[in-house]
Every structure is written in C-alpha cells, then in structure tokens.
C-alpha cells in the first residue's frame, strides 16, 4: 500500500507541539502505535490485532479551542506554545475542523471591531478569554462557546447578530463565564445567547445532545468504529445486564442497550449525566439508568449489596482504574469486561491486576482516534476464566 505523503504544510508544528504532523508518514505512525500497545499489554493479552487507522487523518477534530491574547497590540487567537503561556496565533490547523478555524478567525476580527478587551492572565483584566467550538459531524450543527471573564458582555446582541450574519451555519452560541484564575478553559455558568445552548450529533444511528462542558469523543468517525468493536466484543444476546462505567453522556451504553437488557451508566460529571438522561429520552430508550457518582464508589455499593452483572464496559481517563474499582468489578462476577483505554501503560498495569483476579484478556484492538499525536485508543475483551 502506498504511503500517505508526508504533508509538511503546517507552519506551527514546532512551537505548537499539539501534534507532530510532517515528521513521519501516517502509516509509520500506525506501526509505532501498535508496537507501543503490544509492548505494554502483550504479556497479559492473548492477541493484539492490527491497529485500525483513519481513512482520512486530517481535520478530524470536532472540538476546537483557542485562547485570545494580544501580540504587538493586535488581538490574536491561538494556542499556548509548548510548556509556556505564550500564545502562538493559529489561523488554520491540519487536524481541526475547517469550519471551526474560519469561525475563530471571524470572532477574532469581531473582537477587534467591537473593541472588546482581551483577558490578560497576568493582570487578570479584560473580558474575552477563550473560544470553544463543537461540531456535530453528522448533523453539521455547530456550537460556539465564548468564554468571558465577567458576566457583562457589552454589545452582545450586536456581536451575536454579526457573527451569525457571517456564519449562518452556527446553530447555537453560548457565553460561558469563567471568573477564576485557573488553567481550566470553562467556568461553571453557561448562558445561551442564541439557539438551545447545546448541539446534537448522531452516532451509530442514535441522536445525542452535547452541552459545552460534557465529554464527547473528538473524532466522530473513529468513535463509531470503536463503539461497534465494543458491541461486537460483547457478543450480546439481548438479555445482558450491563454497567457502562465512566459513561460520559451515555453514548456507549445507549448503543449497546439496543441489543441487550438493562444498562446502568455511571459518570462523575453531573452535567454529563443530565445530557445522558436527556439522550435516553430523545432516543426512546427506557431500560437504561444513569447515576452521577464516582464509578468505584458506586460499584462498591452494588457489590456489597450482592448485585451481579453480565458485562462491565469501562472507559476511564488516562490514569486508568483504581484497585477499588477493579475489586468492585470482579465482585460482581461479570462474564465479560470490556476495557476501552486511552493509555496503553495504565491499561497494561490494570490487565496485570485482572489476570491475577481470575480474568483473562483475550483480544485487543488498537484504534487510532488521534492521528499525528501520541494517543491511541484500545478496546480489550477480558473474560472470566471459568466461562
């Protein structure tokens, strides 16, 4: 197979550090990622399949963020240079959605023409801090989140009107107020300035609502590949009771619920749980329940009360899962555990633990969701040894 030509058109790659585009072919990157997964989990997993790469590895990010700042008295939007808080102005990114880049450019121009102050981290003065754009790749709905340092937003109606005039494709605009001195982009308060304050996207035939602060996979196309792999690995008969731990807005559990029995989704972020409940209603799914709780703590309670489940799907953050989580998981005696991991190192550590607890990792499928970055996702089918 011919290699993807190494596109070296990104002028920011060295300072930006968010990706390594132009340094190696995508095919070589995939080979390295598979090797990385094998090195970390090979000792605990019977078979590591070939990595499933992206068909078109550019402009896949459906979530785009930029920080506002001033350079030589000019308003700019961009990203912090690697390891610093110096802003590199970026007008186009090869892994981000193209429409999002265009909207960021327009908003930067509007900030200038409306003479709005850009927030300064050192003095903690100014208004406009960040912009976050989320796009439903399937629905084409676009949400623009303007993060401000104060609830006051001078000329906001005219600003919104002008932005919509230039970008009628935007379906909602939200003001997020972040008054804290923090590296977190979003503050607590969201105020819709136009539209419903959220977007929807379709994954595996289901419709999901996504709010500004909820987790949603950034690469929609590969997410469907990943979810289908999870469903395939589960081998559902229609009767299983499933836990979807670290469920976000409930996407995996809902996709599985169509072919299984009862599903329980557990998620720490209450805003994501609110989205998850709304998503279940939106799709007419009844046999699914969402709980806003720490997954380990809630599952420990379930285990203590003697509850058993058939399948546990878990999709934890990079740190992997805790001993408390794994102990609770095995105490519920699931026949299958399907581990979706974004970090081969913590995955290897956790598979080693499961192998000592009577569970064996049968198959793993590395899936690339983030081309030109150091990240790789892996789905692992873990089975109870006596099944």
Binding site for ligand SAH (CB under 6 A): 215, 217, 246-248, 251-252, 266-269, 272, 294-295, 315, 317
| CB closer to ligand SAH, 106 vs 300 | 300
Q: Which of 343, 372, 367 is nearest to 57 (CA)?
A: 372
CB-based contact 67:87 (threshold 8 Å): yes
Q: Is 24 exposed, middle or buried (0-12, 13-18, 19+ CB in 10 A)?
A: middle
Report the alpha-carbon distance of residue 304 to residue 201 in Å, rounded: 38
The H or E element that residue 292 is part of is: strand 288-292
Give 337-373 as a DSSP string: EEEEES-HHHHHHHHHHHHHTTEEEEEEEEE--STTS
User: Which residue is catalytic, options 10, 19, 255, 342?
Assistant: 342
19 classed as catalytic:
no
Alpha helical stretches, state H, the chain:
13-16, 26-41, 98-113, 156-166, 220-234, 251-257, 270-282, 295-304, 323-331, 344-356
**Closest C-alpha among 105, 6, 121, 114 to residue 58:** 6
Q: Compute the least distance from the CB of residue 311 to ligand SAH, in Å.
A: 14
What are the E-state strand segments in 72-162? 74-80, 87-89, 128-135, 142-148
- The SS3 of residue 107 is helix
Instruction: Give the angle subtended at the CA of 193 by the CAs of 191 and 197, to the nearest 5°.
Output: 65
In the complex, minimum distance from the CB of residue 348 to ligand SAH, in angstroms, rounded to a whole number: 19
Name the DSSP letter for residue 86. Answer: P
Judged by CB, which is closer to ligand SAH: 133, or 369? 369
Residue (159 or 246) nearer to ligand SAH, CB: 246
Residue 338 CB, shortest distance to ligand SAH, in Å, is 11
Q: Which is nearer to ligand SAH, 82 or 259 (CB)?
A: 259
| Cα-based torsion angle of the residue sequence 147, 108, 78, 65 in order, rounded to the nearest 10 degrees | 40
Which run of H or E residues covers position 67?
strand 63-71
Kindly state the smallest distance separating residue 382's Cβ from ligand SAH, in Å.
Answer: 17
What number of residues does the chain have?
A: 387
**Which residue lies nearer to ligand SAH by CB, 166 or 342?**
342
Minimum distance of ligand SAH from residue 72's CB (angstroms): 39
Task: Pick left, alpha or beta for residue 295 (phi over 0 → left; psi -120 to 50 → alpha; otherwise beta).
Answer: alpha
Nearer to ligand SAH by Cβ, of 145 and 247: the residue is 247
Q: What DSSP letter does each residue of 209-265 carry, written as one string?
A: EE-TTS---S-HHHHHHHHHHHHHHHT--S---EEEES-TTTHHHHHHHTTSS-EEE
- Residue 135, beta-bridge partner list: 142
Nearer to ligand SAH, 108 or 217 (CB): 217
- Closest CB to ligand SAH belongs to which residue? 248
Q: Report the residue number, 131 or 379, with the smaller CB distance to ligand SAH.
A: 379
* Shortest distance in whole angstroms from residue 204 CB to ligand SAH: 11
Q: How far is the CB of 289 from ligand SAH (least distance, A)?
A: 15
Smallest distance from the beta carbon of 103 to ligand SAH, in angstroms? Answer: 24
| Catalytically active residues, by annotation | 342
């Amino acid at each position: 197979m011919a290699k993807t030509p190494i596109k070296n058109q990104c002028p920011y790659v060295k300072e930006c550090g968010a990706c390594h585009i132009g340094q190696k072919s995508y095919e070589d990157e995939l080979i390295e990622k598979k090797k990385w997964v094998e090195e970390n989990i090979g000792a605990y997993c019977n078979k590591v399949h070939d990595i499933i790469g992206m068909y078109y590895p550019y402009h896949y990010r459906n979530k785009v963020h930029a920080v506002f700042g001033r350079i030589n008295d000019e308003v700019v939007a961009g990203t912090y240079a690697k390891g610093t808080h110096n802003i590199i102005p970026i007008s186009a990114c090869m892994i981000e959605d193209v429409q999002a880049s265009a909207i960021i450019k327009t908003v930067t121009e509007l900030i200038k023409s409306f003479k709005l102050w850009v927030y300064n981290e050192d003095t903690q003065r100014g208004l406009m801090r960040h912009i976050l754009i989320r796009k439903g790749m399937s629905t084409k709905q676009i949400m623009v989140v303007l993060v401000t340092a104060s609830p006051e937003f001078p000329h906001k109606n005219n600003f919104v009107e002008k932005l919509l005039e230039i970008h009628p494709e935007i379906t909602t605009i939200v003001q997020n107020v972040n008054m804290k001195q923090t590296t977190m982009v979003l503050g607590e308060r969201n105020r819709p300035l136009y539209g419903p304050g959220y977007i929807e996207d379709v994954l595996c035939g289901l419709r999901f609502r996504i709010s500004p602060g909820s987790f949603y996979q950034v690469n929609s196309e590969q997410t469907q590949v990943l979810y289908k792999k999870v469903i395939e690995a589960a081998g559902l008969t229609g009767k299983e009771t499933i836990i979807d731990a670290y469920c976000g807005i409930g996407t995996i559990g809902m996709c599985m619920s169509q072919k299984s029995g009862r599903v329980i989704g557990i998620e720490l972020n209450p805003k994501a749980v609110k989205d998850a409940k709304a998503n279940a209603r939106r799709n007419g799914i009844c046999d699914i329940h969402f709980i806003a709780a720490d997954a380990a703590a809630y599952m420990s309670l379930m285990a203590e009360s003697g509850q058993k489940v058939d399948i546990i799907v878990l999709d934890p953050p990079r740190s992997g899962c805790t001993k408390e989580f794994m102990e609770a998981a095995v105490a519920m005696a699931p026949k299958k555990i399907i581990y979706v991991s974004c970090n081969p190192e913590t995955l290897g550590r956790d598979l080693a633990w499961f192998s000592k607890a009577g569970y064996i990792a049968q198959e793993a499928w590395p899936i690339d969701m983030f081309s030109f970055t150091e990240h790789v996702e892996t789905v692992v089918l873990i089975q109870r040894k006596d099944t």
